[in-house]
Structure 1
Amino acid sequence: MSGTDDTDAPDLDDAECYLNRELSHLEFQTRVLHEALDDRTPLLERARFLGLFTKNLDEFFMKRVGGLKQQIDAGVTEPTVDGRTPREQWAEILRTVRPMFDRQTDCYREVVRPALAEAGIEIVDHDDLTAAERDRMRAYFEESVLPTLTPLAFDPAHPFPFISNLSLSIGAYVRHESSEDPIFTRVKVPQNRPRLVPVAEGSRYVLLEDLLRAHLDILMPNVDVVDTALFRITRNAEVRNNQEVAEDLIEAIEEVIEQRRFATAVRLEISADAPPAMVDLLREQHDLSPEEVFHRAGPLDYRDFMTLTDLDRPDLKRESWSPLPHPRFAEGPTSDVTATGSDVFDEIARDDVLLHHPYHSFEGTVQRFLDAAANDPDVLAIKAAIYRTASDSQVIQRLIDAADNGKQVAVMVELKARFDEQNNLQWVRKLEENGIHVAYGTVGLKTHTKTALVVREEADGVSLYSHVATGNYHSETAKGYVDLGLLTADRDIGQDLVTVFNFFTGPSLDEEFRKLLVAPVTMRERFTGLIRREADHARAGRPARIVAKMNALEDPAIVAELYRASMAGVDIDLIVRDICRLRPGIEGLSDTIDVYSVVGRFLEHSRIYYFENGAEPSDPEADGAPEYYLGSADWMTRNLDHRVEAVAPVTDPDVREQLRFVLEVMRNDNRTCWTMNADGSYDQRTPGDDPEWATQSILMDAARRAHGRDDDRGLDTDHPASPGDLLVRPASTPDDVDRPSPAAEDGD
């Protein structure tokens, strides 16, 4: 496509060029909910996606809606780049999520619950229990539930009880014989009791709140229970402390955690049959408007339904998956070979290694790398940046082991990692108790980079071994998040990491790096330059292409640069998991841009950036060869300007081929891929009469094939069903892909 004349170019300051961040995120949650609605999804997985939808919307209300309410209360009226003020966004969000909650409820009541019953897994109402079952449940309640309960009355002698965030509660109006007016009493559904109470082991359950509601006569004898309703309050998590003046960051974070418990409410969910007087009382006590009340006919919280996937019913689940060892590393923990870690470091020195979780085992790769570093007598120092980690983190334990073995160990622990503050505080204390130097974070910035550095004495001098990744040092999320990691002995990358780690303990961040793209100092400028360079190639008639995979495309300036590149004729594929402000496929603005989103069994979390640079991908040795990058940053303002991030160039031909294969597979997905429309809606691809091509299934198969033949690569990219070469053809939707209209998707 020829470039557009600048005089006819669209006005990139026009709000119509940009989608709203919050509404775009809700479109992603619609795709998550669709997995529960889709009858191709195995039944227990559908129940899991109901729970994931609840979890995701809870966080959305706590973080995003909470932040908007703060702006409204502060009198902020400045519109975002899409032209909406905070109040307009808030109102549109509430209108948008209401039918989404209704679809979740309908999915459970009309589809998932009956299907579970047909499969022999019943979730029954208490009223539907047999007499014998009721007797057993009454005994269970008296013995195991009743002692944990504390009814809290609201009357002249008792203040209104505090309702903790996301706790499930029963509200009851009760009347004493001596009183005419009923008294409101709150009973918290205990979180330390099973929510799905087994009536018959593994096949028949009753919800704990239903059981509790049926036995209020035992909990509150000598009163008449006039009316009851289930309810749940969501509170704002956007509680901040002024870190510019906080003398002690640990104390500041502890204060934030405490404040969050008592933060303002942002949502009330309540039973559809709740008495109006109770709704009004809860609303008034939490300063909520009628728009913030959601009347729900089904369970108010589906998170515990995710535990159903633990049932031994392989016929109702996807094929099980266990992450595989990487072919480049021998099996077995390095700690079994305490004399040396040279096998690991020799492999990295030979060629760069691409790790791809959960296809590759975290324990057999990242953990093995740190095991080797902790036990190898030639290792002098280890440095690591921890954003989130497991509650029983072996990563932290290896760092402690390294210190015990005489290595210099420095750890950056980000105390401001939202919802992980308490966990990270505990790790800080344990590290410091073991004599390890810990940096807590930086004023005004979050440290989001996922990097580790090992300094090793070798025959020809000191070598640097680096791990630059897209995911956290978290063994549990590595089983469910799709992430990439680069292990390299590249000296320049190692020196750049030395500079980054020195910033965590030093006074300032260097503004020059050899190879790494580092936010907030060089990354924005470098990405902008790479996009503009592709536009220059297109204008000159040279190959020009951008393929970028990320979690979110939110930064307006980057969106504008992509628009300009498209107007110059650059072919652009964007594989964006959730938020996308850019409108694809608009004539004269984004004709050459396609946007996709893949939603599957694992959460897509990796970031890959490809720039063709005027050369054919098949000629990687040519001048101006295509460039690949991977790292921790999305194209979001917060990542580019307000966080410490690191993105590494990938130069190893074999690793580049693996990244190319991943992008190719995702672009050609006809089962779990959604194509974005200019209005921000999405259509799901279906295979029609063609073989099903699902990204994560293909990549699991590629990992199996590489492991089975001890391939040097982490993924076997010579897949027998290879769909062609994504990176050398223009973005287009294959003619044989059946794209249903929006009306066909769940009534939208």
Structure 2
Amino acid sequence: MDGENTLVDDTLGTDNLDDDFEPWNPDSDPSLPRDRYIDRELSWLAFNQRVLELAEDPKLPLLERTNFLAIFASNLDEFFMVRVAGLKRRIMTGLAVPTNTGKAPVDVLADVSAKAHELQLRHAKAFQEIGAALRAKGITLASWDELSEEERAPLRELYANQIFPVLMPLAVDPAHPFPYISGLSLNLAVRVRNAKTKKEQFARLKVPTVLPRFVRIDGGGSDKIRYILLEDLIANQLDELFAGMEVVEHHVFRVTRNEDVEIDEDETENLIQALEKELLRRRFGPPIRLEVTEDMDPVTLDLLVRELDVTDQEIYRLPGPLDLRALFDLGRIDRPELKYPPHVPVTAAQLQPSEPNAKPDIFAALRRQDVMVHHPYESFATSVQAFLEQAARDPNVLAIKQTLYRTSGDSPIVEALIDAAEAGKQVLALVEIKARFDEQNNIEWARKLEKSGVHVVYGLVGLKTHCKLALVIRQEGGRLKHYSHVGTGNYNPKTSRIYEDLGLFTSDDQVGKDLTRLFNELSGYAIEKKFKRLLVAPLHLRKGLLKAIAQETKNAQAGKPAGIRIKVNSMVDEAIIDALYQASRAGVPVDIWVRGICGLKAGQEGYSENIRVRSILGRYLEHSRIFSFVNNGDPLVYIGSADMMHRNLDRRIEALVRLTKPEHIQELSDNFDLAMSNETSSWELESDGSWARHAVDESGAPLVDLQNRLMYQISHRPRAAVRL
């Protein structure tokens, strides 16, 4: 996922299946109806449908629509590899505990399969429409049959010189068993006939991933760009590959496998070694989806079904081409007029030097005031990255402590920590090597950190460390000063350009002491129970939020000002949802701003009339988490890393930090006002559980794009107005 603008990330809910399939007693609150939740798997598919609707929107730039097609495909792959695989595993192992909607996993799997089939066909149709629109703009994906002999000649030469040598056809016969089909690989199923014996045989040909999927037809230099798919080019040269044989049939197919990783941390002495072993096993997970082109003949399909041992429910017949993740490559075409206008993040005004040519001093800025940054509107490089780089080279800095969940392999964050360690500073990096699909990357740069002298630890057994924390200890005037950063997003410079996130910088000693105690707990054996400005999972966060929701309920019942606003990626946890229902019953206005899954029902008579749910998807991935409570006129507002899911609240180290500056609280309130406004483009959760998109007003004029509005407002923010 690193570097791609997927709308899925680790917070979306494709992680740790058992955390989100815990049995829930629907009668835990008898005053609420038993059918008060939306199935989380179908809600996830509804989220990916919203992504698809962006691809279908003709008002969006064409190459951005192409990118959303790729995001949809990438999202769905991960959903099958983990969520669908988990459902199937639970059914096969007899752990078929009913979901919180009362349905058995086998019935949920049937519903998911039906919806996924529908969406994949819709996705294929959208590709055909976008393909026609691209052709009208001079970007063509041509088939071999459309090419003239003059155009085919250089492609044949390319095939002979650069493609043919790396192809590896694998025959299937008594001496050659059916080959292993790697997950998500693109393959040609080829049936050939011996010209002499007339005997038919089967061969599998993997489309090489080391070669570009889109092959240029012409040499470039023209405003007309034409491609042919690699598998199409290969398929039309099979006579050379199977010389002396008659090619009877050839079709493209693709297998998705169970790629969930399971480690019993209590039973292993070396977590890294156990994880590396499990990553090898992941490659051989059982198939859970077989995608084939709709023209595949019955003989070939029957052979694949038999050898792969898949059910009819797991077969997806689709118009070609398969695996549209490759459309990320088309999104990189240099056609600016077909993309979003470029946006350059600005440096947060409080972090800018007081004089035009002066060198910025992050520590001096934080001594003046707390600073809240909003990425990608405000620069990650001149805030978070600059903070750590300055700490690394500052001789007065004694120690740096940081959590790392996902980052890029060439990250300046990692380099800053290495520089600090090599300069003799105490450096602690808490690396979460179990971050899904980034495990191997994390292992590699964790070892790089260790070699440079960084103290690398891997968190607490049984818990993922998901919080985003950095702490710098600096010696000033004979005493130690804390400089802290608590964020909602990963310390990843690449994704910081496409993920919307918040971060709080502060020199407040109370936050610094909280982080010091938390890091001691994570790296040692301390069990800390007291934090002043942090809510920390798994011990305090759920209790703290439930207490705040209950207080709003009491305030409303007493006629005091009350209100709840929550922005998350996923809203699944039943206890939190039930508390929000009770708050709604008491008359508390509840606004939920959610990107992905929402198990809460809105607008239900008797328990959720006062709850509004909106979802905003667009140019950037909405990733920040905000928890805001009116609190009888004394606002209680937190930002942090936690979503409202079982795993985040009970099985992860998460941290929320309380904001104290009125201007920060007001800024987030203004953003919420904009997000929930009927004049802002969004999806609204209807009372029947469906999502309705509102993108234009009654006259057909486009509604306000929240991200464009914030981009403009923040880039034009008066510098003098925000400096002290």
TMscore range, shorter length: over 0.9
**Aligned partner of 2:716 among 696, 699, 705:** 705
Is 1:60 aligned to 2:76, yes or no? no
Q: CA deviation at 1:298?
A: 2.1
Opposite residue 409 of structure 1, the aligned amino acid is V
Q: Supply the distance in 2 between the matched residues of 1:432 and 1:411 (Cα, whole angstroms).
A: 9
**Aligned partner of 1:223 among 235, 238, 245:** 245
Residues 67 and 207 of structure 1: is their aligned pair in 2 closer, same or farther, counting only changes over 3 Å?
same
Opposite residue 464 of structure 1, the aligned amino acid is H
Partner of 2:631, secondary structure, is: coil
Partner of 2:22: none
Q: Supply the distance in 2 between the matched residues of 1:179 and 1:454 (Cα, whole angstroms).
A: 76
Is 1:243 aligned to 2:268, yes or no? no
Q: Which moved more, 1:31-40 or 1:306-315?
A: 306-315
Q: CA deviation at 1:379?
A: 0.6
Residues 300 and 508 of structure 1: is their aligned pair in 2 closer, same or farther, counting only changes over 3 Å?
farther
Is 1:694 aligned to 2:705, yes or no? yes
Q: Supply the distance in 1 between the matched residues of 2:299 and 2:203 (Cα, whole angstroms).
A: 13
Opposite residue 627 of structure 1, the aligned amino acid is L
Partner of 1:255, secondary structure, is: helix
Opposite residue 380 of structure 1, the aligned amino acid is L
Is 1:564 aligned to 2:582, yes or no? yes
Opposite residue 533 of structure 1, the aligned amino acid is Q
The one-character-per-residue Cα deviations of 1:136-160 (angstroms, maximum 9, x if unpaired) are 1111111111111100111111111
The one-character-per-residue Cα deviations of 1:641-675 (angstroms, maximum 9, x if unpaired) are 01000000000122212212221221126453100
Opposite residue 275 of structure 1, the aligned amino acid is D
Contact 2:167 2:205 in 1 (8 A): yes
Partner of 2:311: 289
**Aligned partner of 1:275 among 290, 297, 317:** 297
Partner of 1:634, secondary structure, is: coil
Q: Supply the distance in 2 between the matched residues of 1:350 and 1:457 (Cα, whole angstroms).
A: 17
Opposite residue 476 of structure 1, the aligned amino acid is K
Is 1:39 aligned to 2:48, yes or no? no
Partner of 1:105: 124
Query: 1:275-424 alignment to 2 at 5 Å?
Result: 275-330=297-352, 343-424=361-442
Is 1:258 aligned to 2:280, yes or no? yes
Query: 1:132-147 alignment to 2 at 5 Å?
Result: 132-147=150-165
Partner of 1:469: 487
Q: Supply the distance in 1 between the matched residues of 2:553 and 2:235 (Cα, whole angstroms).
A: 64
Q: Supply the distance in 1 between the matched residues of 2:34 and 2:292 (Cα, whole angstroms).
A: 37
Contact 1:324 1:359 in 2 (8 A): yes
Q: CA deviation at 1:362?
A: 1.2
Residues 214 and 193 of structure 1: is their aligned pair in 2 closer, same or farther, counting only changes over 3 Å?
same
Opposite residue 104 of structure 2, the aligned amino acid is T
Q: Supply the distance in 2 between the matched residues of 1:713 and 1:354 (Cα, whole angstroms).
A: 12
Q: Supply the distance in 2 between the matched residues of 1:634 and 1:508 (Cα, whole angstroms).
A: 25
Partner of 2:13: none
Q: Supply the distance in 2 between the matched residues of 1:181 and 1:290 (Cα, whole angstroms).
A: 28
Q: Return the TM-score normalized by structure 2.
A: 0.93
Partner of 2:230: 208
Contact 2:345 2:715 in 1 (8 A): no
Partner of 2:643: 634
Q: Supply the distance in 2 between the matched residues of 1:713 and 1:598 (Cα, whole angstroms).
A: 31
Q: CA deviation at 1:508?
A: 4.6
The one-character-per-residue Cα deviations of 1:374-420 (angstroms, maximum 9, x if unpaired) are 01111110000000001211111100000111110001000110100
Contact 1:573 1:595 in 2 (8 A): yes
Opposite residue 714 of structure 2, the aligned amino acid is A
Contact 1:669 1:695 in 2 (8 A): no
Tell me the C-alpha RMSD between the 2 structures.
Answer: 1.8
Opposite residue 642 of structure 1, the aligned amino acid is R
Contact 2:510 2:532 in 1 (8 A): yes
Contact 1:546 1:572 in 2 (8 A): yes
Contact 1:654 1:713 in 2 (8 A): no
Q: Supply the distance in 2 between the matched residues of 1:564 and 1:631 (Cα, whole angstroms).
A: 25
Partner of 1:171: 189
> Matched residues, percent identical?
43
Q: How many residues align?
A: 688
Q: CA deviation at 1:180?
A: 3.4
Opposite residue 68 of structure 1, the aligned amino acid is L
Contact 1:325 1:331 in 2 (8 A): no
Is 1:605 aligned to 2:623, yes or no? yes
Is 1:651 aligned to 2:669, yes or no? no
The one-character-per-residue Cα deviations of 1:187-222 (angstroms, maximum 9, x if unpaired) are 111111111111123611111111111111222211
Q: Supply the distance in 1 between the matched residues of 2:426 and 2:682 (Cα, whole angstroms).
A: 46
Partner of 1:622: none
**Aligned partner of 1:677 among 686, 691, 715:** 686
Q: Supply the distance in 1 between the matched residues of 2:703 and 2:681 (Cα, whole angstroms).
A: 10
Contact 1:386 1:472 in 2 (8 A): yes
Contact 2:674 2:680 in 1 (8 A): no
The one-character-per-residue Cα deviations of 1:537-563 (angstroms, maximum 9, x if unpaired) are 000001110011010000011000000
Query: 1:431-470 alignment to 2 at 5 Å?
Result: 431-459=449-477, 461-470=479-488
Q: Supply the distance in 1 between the matched residues of 2:324 and 2:345 (Cα, whole angstroms).
A: 28
Q: CA deviation at 1:177?
A: 2.7
Runs of 5+ in structure 2 lacking a partner? 1-27
Q: Supply the distance in 1 between the matched residues of 2:386 and 2:507 (Cα, whole angstroms).
A: 16
Q: Return the TM-score normalized by structure 1.
A: 0.90
Q: Which moved more, 1:560-569 or 1:434-443?
A: 434-443
Partner of 1:87, secondary structure, is: helix
Q: CA deviation at 1:11?
A: 3.5
The one-character-per-residue Cα deviations of 1:575-616 (angstroms, maximum 9, x if unpaired) are 01111111000111101000000011111111011100111x
Contact 2:144 2:232 in 1 (8 A): yes
Partner of 1:160: 178
Opposite residue 644 of structure 1, the aligned amino acid is I
Partner of 1:484, secondary structure, is: strand
Partner of 1:486, secondary structure, is: strand
Residues 268 and 711 of structure 1: is their aligned pair in 2 closer, same or farther, counting only changes over 3 Å?
farther
Q: Supply the distance in 2 between the matched residues of 1:362 and 1:182 (Cα, whole angstroms).
A: 60
Q: CA deviation at 1:10?
A: 8.1
Opposite residue 369 of structure 1, the aligned amino acid is F
Q: Supply the distance in 1 between the matched residues of 2:96 and 2:31 (Cα, whole angstroms).
A: 22
Opposite residue 179 of structure 2, the aligned amino acid is P
Residues 187 and 170 of structure 1: is their aligned pair in 2 closer, same or farther, counting only changes over 3 Å?
same
Q: CA deviation at 1:691?
A: 6.5
Runs of 5+ in structure 1 lacking a partner? 1-8, 616-624, 715-748
Q: CA deviation at 1:318?
A: 1.5
Q: Supply the distance in 1 between the matched residues of 2:259 and 2:645 (Cα, whole angstroms).
A: 20
Partner of 1:533: 551
Opposite residue 286 of structure 1, the aligned amino acid is L
Q: Which moved more, 1:323-332 or 1:300-309?
A: 323-332
Q: Supply the distance in 1 between the matched residues of 2:515 and 2:216 (Cα, whole angstroms).
A: 52
Partner of 1:406, secondary structure, is: coil
Q: CA deviation at 1:349?
A: 1.8
Q: CA deviation at 1:331?
A: 7.5
Residues 569 and 196 of structure 1: is their aligned pair in 2 closer, same or farther, counting only changes over 3 Å?
same
Q: CA deviation at 1:299?
A: 1.2
Partner of 1:594, secondary structure, is: strand
